[in-house]
Amino acid sequence: MKKQLMTIALCVVGLAAFGQVKNKHAIGARIGAGNTFGSQVSYQYGISNYNRVEVDLGFNTNNNGTGFNLSGAYQWVWDIESGFNWYAGPAATLGSWSYSNDYSGSGDSGVYLGIGGQIGAEYNFEEVPVNLSLDTMPQFGFGPTDQNFNMGLSLSIRYAF
């Protein structure tokens, strides 16, 4: 019986350690580096006080070709200090690319899928409805067109409402 009570007490304390999803919505830009897609439009939707969904959409066009990337992550949010949180959760990506015929001697194109996660830290300003975050979304590509490990660091700035 003591073990059961101890387990319940630890669960209650663990739930109290969760942060607060301050705003129901946040929209802005996610600027990435590394071997990720790069800059994206980012939207967060608060499901509860402790969970949210993030969706990021990016388009890339240059002289070598075009592409798009759609990523989604389910996040658990934990409080570090007032306004400062960290978050983590599973993530998935869907995208496509099309290289022009003169790029590397091929007209390569395809679709890619990725499964991974997201982990990061954020700060929600009290004075203005803005949040800043720094995170990574490591993912393993799978399917016939992409079987790589992709990882990069991203800085996001969002208007929260």
* pLDDT attached to residue 91: 96
* pLDDT attached to residue 48: 94
* pLDDT attached to residue 119: 97
* pLDDT attached to residue 65: 79
Give residue 19's Cα distance to chain centre: 17
Going from N- to C-terminal start, the domains of the chain cover: 19-160
Strands (E), the chain: 25-32, 40-46, 51-62, 65-81, 84-99, 109-124, 130-136, 139-142, 149-150, 153-160
d(CA 111, CA 114): 10
Report long-range pairs for 126-129 (Cβ below 8 Å, ≥24 apart).
126/83, 129/23, 129/159, 129/160, 129/161
In the predicted model, residues of the chain with pLDDT beneath 50 are 4-5, 7-17, 105-106
The 10 Å CB-count burial string (b at 16+, else e) for 28-65 is: bebebeeebbbbbebbbebeeebbbebebbbebeeeeb
pLDDT tens readout for residues 35-57 = 566 789 999 999 999 999 999 99
Phi, psi at 18, each rounded to 5°: -65, 150
pTM of the model: 0.79
The class that CATH gives domain 19-160 is mainly beta
